[in-house]
Each structure stands twice: as C-alpha cells, then as structure tokens.
C-alpha cells in the first residue's frame, strides 16, 4: 500500500481504535481488579499492574473463593440455573405448541386470539406486578422457583410464540398434506416433523429466553424478593453493591462470576446468540 | 390447515392463552382500575378507598416524579441518538477495515452480560477518591493526570450523573444497533456507491446522499426499539444510584412506591404512565415492520 493512502486511512483506524478502547478498558479493569488483593486495589489503580505484570504475587483467586463461599454467590449461581433452565424449557415448550396451533389448525377466533397474544408484547412488565403479587402471596408462590418459572414463562410467551409462529407458518403446505395422506395425526405431525425441522428457530428462541432470564433483575426482585436462599446472581450482586459498595475485591469478582456463563454462551454459540439477542430486543 | 376437530386445537393454544391471560391481560386491566384507588394492596376489601385522580395528580406534580419524567426524556433523546448514531458510524466504518469481525465482537459483548454486571463495571470506572488520594477509577485518574480535580461522577447533579448513567446504557446497546445497521448496510448494492464515486462524489457525499437514505428505514426501526427499551430503564439506575441525586427514572420510582412505600395506588398510576408512553412507539414499530414485510 502506498504511504499516501495509508496516511489518509489513519483517522479511520484511530476512530475504530478509540471505540474498541472504550469498549474493552472498563471490562479489562474489572477482570484485573478481581484478581488483586484488597490492599492493592485500594492503594493503586488497576492499570499500575502492567509494568510488573510477571513479577508474581499480585494476583490470586482469593476474591473468587471469598464471594463464592462466603458471600453466597455459589448458592446464587445454582439458583440462577434453577430459575433459568426450567423457565426457558417450559416457555419454549408451551410456545411451540401454541405457535403450531395458531399456524396450522382451524378454530374459531384463531386470527384475533393470535393478534391478542402477540400484541401483549406492548405491555411493560410493571403493569402486571401489583395485581399478581397478592395472589402469589395467597397461593404461597411468592419466593418460590415454580412461581418465578410461571411468571417468566408467561412474560416470554408473546414474543416466543410470535417468533416460532413466523417460522412454522412458513413451512411448505405439502409437508402437512403428505403427512395427512400417510394417516399421521396432528400430534405425530407436530412431534415427528415440525419440531425436528424447527430446531434452528427453537435454538435461537431458547438462547435469547435463557439469557433474558439469566440477566433479569426486576422480575426476580418482585417475585423472589431479596431472600438469599432463592436469590439469583443478579439480585445478589445488586445487594453487594448496596451493602458492600466500596469492597471492590468482592464486587468485581462477583460481577465476573455473574457474567461468566453468558460470555461462555456468547463465544461458543455466537451465530445463534446474535440471532437470539436481535429477536429478543423487543421483549417486555 | 390440518383437520383436527373442534376441541383439539385448544389443547395446543390453551396453555399459552391461560398463562398470558392470567399474567398479562388480567393484571393490565386491574392496574388501570387500581390507579384510581388508594394505597392498600387488596382491591376488594374493607379498606378500599376510591381516590379519583389523586394518584394522577401526584404523578404529574410531585417533584421527584417530574424529575423522573424529565430524566426519562433525557434518556430517550441522548441514549437513542448515541446508540443509533454510533451503531451507524461503526457499521459504515468497520466495513472498510480487515479486522471488522473482531471489533464487532468486542462492541457486541456487553449485550450478553446483565445490566447489573455492566453497572458494576462502570461504577468502578466512575470510582471517586478525594483530591490528594490516589485515584482507583480510571476516569478520575485521567482527569487528575490532565491536571484537573477528581469528579464525583455519580453525585454531580443533575447533568453529569445522568449523562454518566446514560453512557452505561449506550455502552450496552450500541453493539445491538451496529449489528442490525451493518446487515442493512451490506445489503446496499455496491454499484450504487461506486457509481457515485466515479461521478466525483466525496466519501461524505456518498454517505449523505446514497447510504443514509437507504439505511433510514432500518435506522428508524432501531431507534423506536431503543426508545421502548429506554422508557423502561431500571437496572442501571437501581444499581448505580437508586435514583438518588436527581437520577430517578419512572420504572425505578414505580418499584420504590411498591416495595419501599407500599403505595399500590400510586405505583399503579406510574405503571400506566409507562404503558401510555410506550404504546405509540410500539404501534410505530409494528406498522413499519409490517410495511417492510409487505414490500419484500
């Protein structure tokens, strides 16, 4: 490349470099700090570790051991899993039945019921808490995992049903005709043909729903409260910020533990992940 | 269409209808009704008091609520402008370099993590120590290195701290805007830009008169999506300032009225405000979306 062209492209690279720096540096600071000891964190900025990066003795896993064992983050990690996985499975399960019914079955009110379910996407979740919570308390569902599974399932249904419906209604009609000729029942058609074909769509829906629930703070605060026994990681980390706001060795390690799984999903399933995130942006 | 008889279809769609009916339709109606009643949790009972428009008067006259409405407006303008603007700039600029994929991943990563996590990351960036003590937040370290006084970023009201919170939101959502706008950009036929360049147009002209008009519909959809997101902003404010120092927003106020003050009437009215603000943007988005689909 000739030098003139390189010079004219320098501003372009600089702008991109600046953006990249703003996006990397805050996370890098968190990561480095989470491995430093409390005295080091309080005494000097995290960027001062670089000149003596390999001198040893300044990094350890102590903070992680501390938050996981003593601050209850280990418990919260398991709680987050116990909330996200069943809730995601139930909602994907119910949504795929509904999407199939709305796409390929004949019944009165099909069109407007579908519009209604999908139209519920406009409702901000704040509209739902006040009437539901007293009922939850009466039924002893408040503060329980089944309670939050049901809530997350219902809140996710408008979007998941819509996404799966647009996929399933696009399937060729011949598929269903030939299945009917072979004498297959509706359920056989659904479970043997439609579900296997829909795996890519189901995967995207599953990932976005899982990450949405994993990263959710509001719904968990409302229906689970701040009880440590059932609190997911988002709630525990938010509590740490409130109660231990200056203990950066705890906060940074805790935040990183809460981000580990989403980052793993991001790097291992990037294609589905991007599709899932884009699809999920309109939710609640 | 499958022929399944009269009852079979309801087995498929029934569970979804029941769940959305109970968790979304019923409470929405009740919350609207509730916004005209007093503070008690039970709507049917001995202590129920019809208060007419008193909750609504509170929403639109109380000092903190007005600050919340103002802040949400500030968020809507700045957050939307920055996310869509940066997303657009990155989509166009990154197309010209060979390391596009890598930078895109870097910018998109915050979309994966929770807003709680992102808030902790940025709270540390904004960390404040008094003058003379070594700064551990990188932003204040910069300020001090340049010869300035350290700033209490999250306390300096009302503009600095609100801007600092909005920056966190922008950091989280820019990647999302970039990915969508980049996909739209790559769909523009290259000949269009080449033709303009051969005719002597500068890069700025190509952007202004070829790229921008073709990206405008997508940018509009992205922008409305951002507005809807930002009207409901909660996590960032809850974690970083809890609405103190004039940083209150509608969703956080609703949470406080419900869980700190136990005023269910007011909390309901605030929730309805959120609904009313969101509906026009949702309609816009749905209409544009169906138009795009029909045009394809």
pLDDT digits (tens, 9 = 90+) for B245-279: 999 999 999 999 998 999 999 999 999 999 999 99
CB atoms closer than 10 angstroms to residue A22: 17
A141/A72 Cα distance (integer angstroms): 23
User: What does the pLDDT read at residue B295?
Assistant: 39
pLDDT higher at B20 or B192: B20
Q: Is the pLDDT of residue A170 over 70?
A: yes
DSSP secondary-structure letter at B224? H
Segments of B62-131 assigned E as strands: none
Q: Is A11 a domain residue? A: no
Q: Is the pLDDT of residue B214 over 60?
A: yes
Q: 3-class DSSP state for residue B2?
A: strand
**pLDDT bucket at A279, cuts 50 / 70 / 90:** low
Measured in angstroms, the CA of B2 and the nearest CA of chain A are apart by 5
- What the block records as the tokens of B197 is 């360049």
Cross-chain CB nearest to A266 (options B112, B228, B229): B112
Overall average pLDDT of the A262-282 stretch: 74
Q: Is A209 a domain residue? A: yes
The per-residue pLDDT of chain B, averaged, comes to 90
Measured in angstroms, the CA of B225 and the nearest CA of chain A are apart by 7
- What the block records as the tokens of A162 is 């819509």
Strand partners, A105: B2
The structural domain count of chain A equals: 1
**pLDDT bucket at A174, cuts 50 / 70 / 90:** confident
Overall average pLDDT of the A212-241 stretch: 92
Cβ of residue A14 closer than 8 Å to a chain B Cβ: no
User: What does the pLDDT read at residue B294?
Assistant: 46
Phi then psi for residue B4, to 5 deg, are -130, 10
**Do B239 and B119 meet the contact criterion of CB atoms below 8 Å apart?**
yes
Q: Is A138 a domain residue? A: yes
Decide if A19 and B86 are in contact by the 8 Å CB cutoff.
yes
Decide if B122 and A126 are in contact by the 8 Å CB cutoff.
no
CATH number, domain with residue A252:
1.10.3720.10
**Do A221 and A56 meet the contact criterion of CB atoms below 8 Å apart?**
no
Overall average pLDDT of the A16-20 stretch: 96
Decide if B34 and A130 are in contact by the 8 Å CB cutoff.
yes
Decide if A29 and B24 are in contact by the 8 Å CB cutoff.
no
User: Helix and strand tally (H, E) in chain B?
Assistant: 14, 0
Report which of A235, A208, A197, A255 is spatially closest to residue A79, judged by C-alpha positions.
A235
Domain with A148 in it:
72-280
A42/A146 Cα distance (integer angstroms): 42
A97/A91 Cα distance (integer angstroms): 10
**Do A265 and B137 meet the contact criterion of CB atoms below 8 Å apart?**
no
**CA distances (Å), B116 to each of A213, A219, A232, in order?**
13, 13, 12
Overall average pLDDT of the A5-17 stretch: 87
Question: In sequence order, what DSSP letters do the residues of B132-149 get, joined into one string?
Answer: TSPP-SHHHHHHHHTT--
Overall average pLDDT of the B201-209 stretch: 89
- What the block records as the tokens of B239 is 């974690």
User: What does the pLDDT read at residue A24?
Assistant: 95
Strand partners, B37: B50
User: What does the pLDDT read at residue B41?
Assistant: 64
Torsion, Cα B12 B18 B23 B27, to 10 degrees, reads 140
CB atoms closer than 10 angstroms to residue A164: 25
* CA B211 and chain centroid, separation: 26
Q: Is A220 a domain residue? A: yes
**pLDDT bucket at A284, cuts 50 / 70 / 90:** low
**Do A226 and B238 meet the contact criterion of CB atoms below 8 Å apart?**
no
Residues 238-267 of chain A with CB under 8 A from chain B are 238, 241-242, 248, 251-252, 254-256, 258-259, 262-263, 265-266
Q: Is A102 a domain residue? A: yes
Q: Is A7 a domain residue? A: no
Hey, what domains does chain B have and what are their CATH numbers?
63-262+270-295 (1.10.3720.10)
Report which of A249, A245, A44 is spatially closest to residue B134, judged by C-alpha positions.
A44
**pLDDT bucket at A223, cuts 50 / 70 / 90:** very high
B83/B95 Cα distance (integer angstroms): 18
Cross-chain CB nearest to A104 (options B2, B6, B240): B2
CB atoms closer than 10 angstroms to residue A203: 17
Mutating which of B99, B114, B231 best tests the A interface, going by the most A Cβ atoms within 10 A?
B114
Nearest chain B residue to A43, by CA: B134
Overall average pLDDT of the A143-158 stretch: 96
Residue A18's Cβ-count burial label (10 Å; 0-12, 13-18, 19+) is exposed
Sequence-distant (6+) residues with CB within 8 A of B42 are A134, B48
pLDDT digits (tens, 9 = 90+) for B110-164: 988 999 999 999 999 999 999 988 899 999 999 999 999 999 999 988 899 999 9
């Amino acid at each position: 490349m000739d030098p003139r062209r390189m010079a004219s492209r320098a501003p372009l690279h600089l702008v991109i470099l600046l953006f990249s720096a703003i996006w990397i540096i805050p996370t890098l600071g968190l990561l480095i700090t989470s491995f430093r000891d409390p005295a080091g964190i309080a005494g000097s900025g995290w960027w001062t570790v670089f000149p003596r990066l390999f001198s040893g003795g300044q990094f350890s896993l102590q903070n992680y051991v501390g938050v996981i064992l003593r601050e209850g983050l280990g418990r919260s990690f398991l709680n987050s899993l116990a909330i996200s996985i069943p809730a995601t499975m139930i909602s994907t399960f119910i949504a795929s039945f509904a999407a199939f019914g709305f796409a390929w079955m004949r019944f009165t009110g099909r069109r407007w019921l579908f519009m209604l379910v999908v139209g519920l996407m406009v409702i901000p979740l704040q509209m739902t808490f006040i009437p539901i919570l007293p009922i939850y308390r009466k039924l002893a569902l408040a503060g329980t995992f089944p309670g939050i599974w049901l809530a997350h399932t219902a809140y996710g249904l408008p979007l998941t049903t819509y996404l799966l419906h647009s996929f399933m209604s696009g399937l060729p009609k011949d598929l269903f005709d030939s299945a009917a000729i072979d004498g297959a029942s509706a359920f056989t058609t659904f479970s043997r043909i439609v579900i296997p074909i829909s795996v890519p769509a189901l995967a995207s829906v599953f990932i976005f729903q899982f990450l949405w629930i994993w990263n959710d703070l509001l719904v968990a605060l409302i229906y689970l409260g701040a009880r440590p026994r059932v609190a997911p990681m988002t709630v525990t980390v938010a509590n740490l910020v409130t109660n231990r706001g200056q203990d950066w060795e705890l906060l940074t390690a805790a935040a990183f533990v809460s981000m580990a799984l989403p980052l793993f999903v991001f790097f291992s399933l990037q294609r589905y992940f991007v599709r899932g995130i884009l699809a999920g942006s309109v939710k609640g | 269409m499958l022929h399944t008889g009269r009852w079979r279809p309801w087995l498929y769609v029934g569970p979804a209808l029941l769940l959305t009916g109970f968790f979304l339709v019923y409470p929405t109606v009740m919350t609207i009704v509730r916004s005209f009643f007093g503070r008690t949790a039970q709507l049917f009972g001995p202590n129920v008091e019809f208060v007419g428009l008193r909750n609504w008067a509170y929403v639109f006259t109380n000092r903190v609520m007005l600050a919340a409405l103002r802040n949400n407006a500030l968020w809507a303008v700045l957050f939307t402008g920055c996310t869509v603007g940066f997303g657009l700039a990155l989509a166009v600029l990154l197309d010209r370099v060979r390391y596009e994929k890598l930078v895109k991943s870097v910018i998109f990563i915050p979309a994966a993590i929770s807003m709680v996590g992102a808030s902790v990351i940025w709270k540390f960036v904004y960390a404040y120590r008094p003058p003379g003590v070594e700064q551990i937040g990188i932003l204040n370290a910069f300020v001090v290195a340049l010869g300035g006084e350290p700033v209490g970023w999250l306390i300096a009201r009302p503009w600095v701290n609100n801007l600092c919170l909005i920056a966190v939101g922008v950091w989280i959502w820019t990647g999302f805007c970039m990915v969508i706008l980049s996909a739209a950009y790559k769909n523009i036929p290259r000949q269009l830009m080449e033709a303009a360049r051969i005719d002597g147009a500068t890069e700025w002209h190509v952007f202004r008169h070829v790229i921008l008009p073709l990206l405008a519909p997508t940018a509009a959809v992205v922008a409305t999506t951002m507005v809807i997101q930002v009207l409901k902003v909660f996590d960032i404010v809850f974690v970083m300032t809890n609405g103190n120092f004039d940083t209150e927003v509608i969703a956080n106020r609703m949470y406080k009225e419900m869980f700190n003050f136990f005023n269910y009437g007011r909390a309901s009215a605030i929730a309805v405000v959120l609904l009313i603000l969101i509906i026009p943007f949702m309609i816009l988005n749905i209409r544009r979306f169906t138009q795009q689909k029909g045009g394809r």
